[in-house]
Chain A
Amino acid sequence: MKDITTMTALDLGRAIKQKEISVAEAVKAQFDIMKLRDPSYQCYITMMEEEAYTQAEEIQRRIDAGELFNSTLAGVPMAVKDNICTRGIKTTCASKILYNFVPTYDATVIEKLKQAGAIIIGKTNMDEFAMGSTTETSFLGATKNPWNTECVPGGSSGGSAAAVAAEEAFYALGSDTGGSIRQPAGYCGVTGIKPTYGTVSRYGLIAYASSLDQIGTIGRNISDCTAALEVISGHDLKDSTSVNQLNYSYREALVDDVKQLRIGIPTDYLGKGLDEEVREGILNAAQIFRNKGAIVEEFEMHGVDFAVPSYYVIACAEASSNLSRFDGVKYGYRTENYEGLQDVYKNSRSEGFGNEVKRRMMIGAFVLSSGYYDAFYNKALKVRAIINEGFQRAFEKYDIILGPTAPVTAPGLGESLSDPLKMYLSDIYTVSVNLAGLPAVSLPCGRDKKGLPIGLQLIGKHFGEKDIIRAAYSFEQAVKYERPISLTETNKETKHISSDITKGKGE
C-alpha cells in the first residue's frame, strides 16, 4: 500500500478526490502512525479516533456525491491546538484548571474546517494557556522534538508542530501570540504561518493576549499551510477585530519567482545573542534568495531591543484579565478544599494553574495596578507604537523582512524553564511581529551540527501574506524538505525500531 502519511496534505487531498485513497484509509493510516509514534513524542492531549471515522464516512459520502470539489483538503486528517474550542470535545489549554472543560460550541475556524471537509483527528499539546516557548509547561507533560527526543519541540504550539513533523498529522492549527507557531515550526523543521492580525477569527480561541493572538497553520510545506489558511481566513461577525478582506486566494502566490523582490535583514537580527550556526543558516538562505534574483540587503531597524519587554508587559496584562474567568465557579477545576467564596477562588486558582501562568498573571496584575499603569502598561503601548512605526518605515523600502525565527535551535528538555528570563529573551525575533500585527512565516533552512533544524523567518507587511508565501514557495524549490531522521529509519525497518520509538529512544 502507498505510504500515505508521508504525503503532503494537498497530495492526499488530490488522491482522495481521484479515489486513489479513501478517506477511511487515510484516517486509518494516520491513526496507525499516531499510535506508533505518539508515545515517543506526546503530541496529543486528546485523540479523536471514533469521531474521525464518523467524520470520514460523512466526508467520503459528500465527496462521492460530488460535493467539496473545490475543497483541496477534504478528507485530510489534521490536528488542532488544544486552546481552540471544539464542540463536545475536551479543550484543556493543557491546564489542570480546564482539565474537564468541554465546550458547547465550535471555534469559527473549526466550523470552517468542518465545512471544508477536514478530518479533525485530535487536540495537540501546548504550553499551558500558550504561555511558554517549549511545550514543557503543559499540565499533561512535555512534547518531544521528533528530530531529537531529548530536545523540546518549541512552543507554545509544540504539539502541533511536532505532530506535523512526526507525520502524526498532515497539517495542524496553532496559535501565535509571540511566536508560538513560528518558533516550534522552526525547531521541528516544518513550516508555520501566522497571518496578519484580524485575518482569522479568534472566536473560540481561548485567549492568552487578545490584541496579539492569531490562529495560523502548520504544515510540511508552504503549499499545505496556504491551503489551510485559505480555509480558516475571513471576516467573522462574531469577532469584531477580524477584518474584511476582499481576496483570500493565497494560493495565487505559490509561484517560484522572487526576481526584484526587495528583502531587508535588520542588522540587529544578526547581532548579539544569535547562535553562530543559525546565523550561518540565515545568511545561506539570504544567498539563495539573491541567487534567485531577489535584492537582499541589511538595514538598521529601530525598536528591536524594546520588543521583548514591551511584549511581556502587554501580553501579561491582557492575560491577567483573560484568565481571571477561570475561578472554579462554573466549569473546570474546583478545589476540594474551601470554606467560603474567597477560598474557592484562591485555592482553585492556586491548585489549577502552573507556575509560568501564575508568573505571567502576577506580572500582568502588577503592571495594570494603580500607580504602575503609566510606568509599565502605558509605556509598553507607546513602545508598541514605535515598533509599529519601525516596521512601517522598513516596508517603505522592502517587501519582506528576513531573519532567524529564534536565536538558537531547539534546546534540551528542562534547559529553558530554569531561566525564564533567558527563555523570554529568545522570543526577540518573533514578538515584535505580533506587536505590529504583521504576517510572518517560519520555514526550515537547513540544520546545525547537532542535526537540529534552523528556522528562517519571513515577515510581510500588513495583509502582505502573498509576498511571504511567494518567497517561501520559491525558497522551497531550492531547499528540499527533510523528514526527521529517526522517522526515516522507523519506516525503513519495521516494527522493532518503532517499538524503540515508543520507549522514547528512536535514533
Chain B
Amino acid sequence: MKAYETVIGLEVHVELATKSKIFCSCTTLFGGDPNTHCCPVCTGMPGTLPVLNKQVVEYAIAAGLALNCSITRRCKFDRKNYFYPDLPKAYQISQLYLPICRDGGIEIETSAGKKTVRIHEIHMEEDAGKLIHDPWEDCTLVDYNRCGVPLIEIVSEPDMRSAEEVVAYLEKLRLILQYLGVSDCKMQEGSLRADINLSVREVGAIELGTRTEMKNMNSFKAIARAIEGERKRQIELLEYGKCVVQETRRWDDNKDTSFAMRSKEDAQDYRYFPEPDLLPIEISDEWLETIRSRQPELRDDKMLRYEKEFDIPSYDASIITGSKHLADLFEETVAICKKPKEVSNWLMVETMRLLKEQEMEAEDINFSPDHLAKLIEMVDQNKINRTVAKEVFEKIFKENIDPEEYVDKHGLGMVSDDGLLRSTIEKVIADNPQSVTDYKGGKSKAMGFLVGQTMKEMKGKADPGMVNQIVKELLDK
C-alpha cells in the first residue's frame, strides 16, 4: 500500500450565547415547548423584517480578535436561498461576499508538536428550526424555537492532517469561545457543530484529493471516529483504483459508519445575493477598540499567570485552565481563602477523582467556591483532620453542603482531648500485645498499625499528630 496523507479542513458552527435571537427579540434558551420561542419575525411571516442584534456583531468580532482575524470594517449580509421546512423564509440570512472576520489562525499542540491552523473566515448567520418526525402519526413536525438563534461559522483552511490535530483544534477553539463567553459550546445541545472536509493524497503530492464533507458528529470522540473511518474509506477506494466522489456524508455514530447524503451533482445553487432588508454594518475604530478592550484573559495567558502568581506547576495550571468553569472556580475560591496551592490540590486530586468516578465533565461541577474555601480553612485550623475532610469534600462535591454545618451536625470535629486519646490508646495497646512485642523487637511499622487501630476506634476524628505522639510515648515507656 502507498503512503497517504489526510488533509482536513473544518467548518464549525457555534451558537452564540446572546439572550435574544439574531433578528428579533425572542429568547435563545435551549429547549422549551415546541414553537414557544418564536414570533412573526423568526418564523418568517409575510411582511416582517429582520433587525440585527448588535450583540451578535460584538460576539463575532470578539471571536475574530481572539482567533487573530482581520475584521471587515464594512461587512454585509447575504441571502442564501433554498427550500426546506425548517427554514421559514426559504432563505437563510448569512454572509458570503463580505464576512465579518477573515484571515486568522490559532496554534495547536499535539504529540507531533506545535502548528498553526489558519482560519479562512468567520461569518454570522441565523440558525434554522428543527424537524421532528412523529412515528405515531407518521408525519413530520417543525419546531421553530431554534430558528434565528445566532450562529458564527468558523471556516478553517485545510491545514489539519490527523484526528488528533482536529480534536486539538476544536478543544482550543472551544476553550477560546468559552473564555470569551460568546458561546457555551455544548456539542450535545448542538451549540457547537463541526462539519469535516476530508481528502487523502499520496504523501508528497501537491494537488489535493477529492474531498467529502461529513456532518452529524455530536462529540469529539465521534469526530475522531468519523475521521478515522472516512480516511480508511477513501484510501481503500483509491487502492482499488476507484475514485472518491465529492459528496456530503452523514456520520452514524451508532453504526460507526457514514452514508452518502447528496453528491456534488445535486448540489444546490443557493443564488446568494445581498440582503436588501439590512444595511451594511460599519465597524468604527471606536467600536472595535471598545470590544478589544473588553477581551477577557484567554487560557494561554491565564496558565502563565497561574504559574507565576500562584506558583502552581504548569501541569496543574493546564488542567485547571482546561475548563473555563474550573478556572473560575479556582480563582473565586482562592480569592476567599488565599491558599492557591491548597485549592489547586483539592481540584487536581479529589475533584478529578470524583469527576472520573461520576463520569462528569468539569463544566458540570456544581459546588460553590465558599464551601471549598471553608473546608480548606477548617483543615488549616485543625478543626477537622484530612481523612474527615475528604469525606466532607465528597459531600460538597455531590450536594454542595456547607462543611461547617455538616461537621457540626455529624460530630466530625477533630478530637484533641489528651485524656480521651490516652485512654483509647492504652486500650488499643492492651488489645494488641503482639504489635507491642514487634515494635520492641525493632519493627517500627507496628507503630503504624497501632495508630491506625486508634483512628479506627476514634471513627477517624482523632488529631493524627497527637495520636502519633501518644502512641510513641506509651510504647517507648
User: Are B89 and A324 within 8 A (Cβ)?
Assistant: yes
Is A317 part of the binding interface, using a Cβ–Cβ cutoff of 8 Å?
Answer: yes
Chain A 451-494 near chain B by CB (<8 Å), digits 1 or 0: 00000000000000000000000000000000000000000000
Pair B81/A203 contact, Cβ less than 8 Å: no
Write the nearest CB–CB distance from B77 to chain A, whole angstroms. 10
* Contacting pair A324 B51 (CB below 8 A): no
Contact A325 B46 (CB under 8 A): yes
Q: Give the contacting residue for B45; candidates A84, A105, A377; CB below 8 A.
A: A105
Q: In the assembly, what is the distance between CA of A324 and CA of B40, in Å? A: 16
Chain A residue nearest to B267 in the complex (CB): A370
Main secondary structure of the interface of B (DSSP, over half): loop
B247-285 at interface with A (beta carbon < 8 Å): 269, 271-273, 276-279
Bound together, the chains give a CA A359 to CA B285 distance in angstroms of 46
Chain B residues closer than 8 Å to A83, beta-carbon distance = 47
- From A206, A317, A370, give the contact of B46 (CB < 8 A): A206
**B89 contact set on A, CB distance < 8 A:** 324-325
Chain B, Cβ-Cβ closest to A101:
B46
Docked-complex contact B91 and A321, CB < 8 angstroms: yes
Assuming the A-B contacts A104-B40, A240-B278, A368-B273, are A321 and B79 also in contact, with contact meaning beta carbons closer than 8 angstroms in the complex? Answer: yes
The number of residue pairs between A and B whose CB atoms lie closer than 8 Å in the complex comes to: 98
A176 contacts the other chain (Cβ, under 8 Å)? no
Q: How far is the CA of A327 from the CA of B91 in the complex (A)?
A: 12
The distance in angstroms between the C-alpha atoms of A63 and B278, with both chains bound, is 39
Contact A238 B47 (CB under 8 A): no
In the assembly, what is the distance between CA of A84 and CA of B43, in Å?
A: 18
* CB of B48 closer than 8 Å to a CB of A: yes
A369-B49 in contact (CB<8A): no
Most buried by A among B44, B85, B277: B277
- Number of B residues near A (Cβ < 8 Å) is 28
- Separation of A215 and B272 alpha carbons in the complex (Å): 27
Contact digits for B64-92, partner A, Cβ 8 Å, 1 yes 0 no: 00000000000000010101010011110
State whether A210 touches B277 (Cβ < 8 A).
yes
- Residue in chain A with minimal CB distance to B23: A240
Q: How far is the CA of A369 from the CA of B270 in the complex (A)?
A: 8
Task: Establish whether residues B273 and A203, one from each chain, have CB atoms under 8 Å apart when the complex forms.
Answer: no
From known contacts A105-B40, A330-B88, infer whether A98 and B271 are also in contact, taking CB-CB under 8 Å: no
B50 part of interface (Cβ distance < 8 Å): yes
Q: B273 touching A324 by the CB < 8 A rule?
A: no
Q: Any chain B CB within 8 A of the CB of A113?
A: no
A203, B49: Cβ atoms closer than 8 Å = yes
B269 cross-chain contacts in A, Cβ below 8 A: 369-370
* Complex alpha-carbon distance, A369 and B91, angstroms: 14
Query: When the two chains form their complex, are residues B271 and A368 in contact, meaning their CB atoms are under 8 A apart?
Result: yes
- Complex Cα distance A370/B49, Å? 26
Nearest A-chain residue to B89, judged by Cβ: A325
- A365 pairs with B49, CB closer than 8 A: no
Closest-CB distance, B89 to chain A (whole angstroms):
5
A414 vs B381: C-alpha distance when bound (angstroms): 99
Please state if A240 and B277 are interface contacts (CB–CB under 8 Å).
yes
The listed residue (B44, B47, B83, B90) touching A107 by CB distance below 8 A is B47
Query: Shortest beta-carbon distance, A116 to chain B, in Å?
Result: 20
Let me know if A202 is at the binding interface, CB within 8 A: yes
* B88-A203 in contact (CB<8A): no
Residues facing B in A60-88 (CB within 8 A) are 83-85
B430, chain A: closest CB distance, angstroms: 86
Chain B CB within 8 A of A204 CB: yes
Chain A residue contacts of B79, Cβ below 8 A? 321
From 291 to 350 in chain B, residues with beta carbon under 8 angstroms from any chain A beta carbon are none
A321 and B273 within 8 A (CB) = yes
A331 to B271, CA, bound (A): 25
Known A-B contacts A240-B279, A321-B79; A203 and B47 likewise in contact (beta carbons under 8 Å): yes
CB distance A318 to B276 under 8 Å?
Answer: yes
A202 to B272, CA, bound (A): 22
With a CB–CB cut-off of 8 A, which chain A residues contact B85?
A: 327, 329, 341
**CB of A320 within 8 Å of the partner chain:** yes
A202, A239, A324 — which one has the most chain B CB atoms within 10 A of its CB? Answer: A324
Closest Cβ–Cβ distance, residue B409 to chain A (whole Å): 57
A199 beta carbon closer than 8 Å to chain B: no
- From B47, B81, B273, A205 is in contact (CB under 8 Å) with B47
Question: Which A212-259 residues have a C-beta within 8 angstroms of B?
Answer: 237-241
> For A330, what are the chain B residues with a Cβ–Cβ distance below 8 Å?
43, 88
Give the docked Cα–Cα distance between A88 and B213 (Å).
46
A238 to B91, CA, bound (A): 19
Does B458 sit within 8 A of A, measured CB to CB?
Answer: no
Q: Which of A330-357 contact B (CB under 8 A)?
A: 330-331, 341, 345
Is A499 an interface residue, CB under 8 A from the partner?
A: no
Residues in A with CB closer than 8 Å to B378 are none
Interfacial residues of chain A within 364-378, with CB under 8 A of chain B in the complex: 365, 368-370, 373, 377
Complex formed: what's the CA distance from A370 to B273 in Å? 11
**Shortest CB distance A21–B (Å):** 34
Choose one: A84, A240, A317, A318; the contact of B51 (CB below 8 Å): A240
- With both chains docked as a complex, state the minimum distance between the C-beta of A244 and any C-beta of chain B, in angstroms: 12
CB distance from B129 to the nearest CB of A (A): 11
- A324, B81: Cβ atoms under 8 Å? yes
Instruction: Decide if B352 is an interface residue (CB 8 Å cutoff).
Output: no
Residues of A within 8 A of B273 (CB): 317-318, 321, 368, 373, 377
A85: contacting residue among B47, B91, B279, CB under 8 A: B47
Contacts of A101 in B (CB 8 A): 46
In the assembled complex, which residues on chain B have CB atoms less than 8 Å from the CB atom of A327? 83, 85, 90
Can you name the residue of chain B whose Cβ is closest to the Cβ of A203? B49
Given A318-B276, A325-B89, A368-B273, A238–B49 Cβ distance below 8 Å? yes
Q: Is A211 an interface residue (CB 8 A)?
A: yes
Take A210-B276, A317-B273, A325-B89 as given contacts and tell me if A103 and B49 are in contact as well, using a CB distance cutoff of 8 Å. no
A91 interface residue, CB < 8 Å from B? yes
- Alpha-carbon gap, A464 to B292, bound state (A): 41
Given contacts A211-B276, A329-B85, is CB(A321)–CB(B271) below 8 Å?
yes
A84 to B46, CA, bound (A): 9
Q: Can you give 8 contacting A-B residue pairs, CB < 8 Å?
A: A103-B45, A104-B40, A105-B40, A206-B47, A325-B46, A325-B88, A331-B45, A341-B85
With A85-B46, A240-B49 given, can you name 9 additional A-B contacts, CB distance below 8 Å? A98-B46, A101-B46, A240-B50, A321-B79, A321-B81, A321-B90, A327-B90, A330-B88, A368-B272
Contacts from A to B (Cβ < 8 Å): 83-85, 91, 93, 98, 101, 103-105, 107, 202-207, 209-211, 237-241, 317-318, 320-321, 324-327, 329-331, 341, 345, 365, 368-370, 373, 377
Top-5 shortest CB links A-B: A324-B90, A368-B271, A211-B276, A210-B276, A204-B47
B residues adjacent to A (C-beta < 8 A) = 40, 43-52, 79, 81, 83, 85, 88-91, 142, 269, 271-273, 276-279
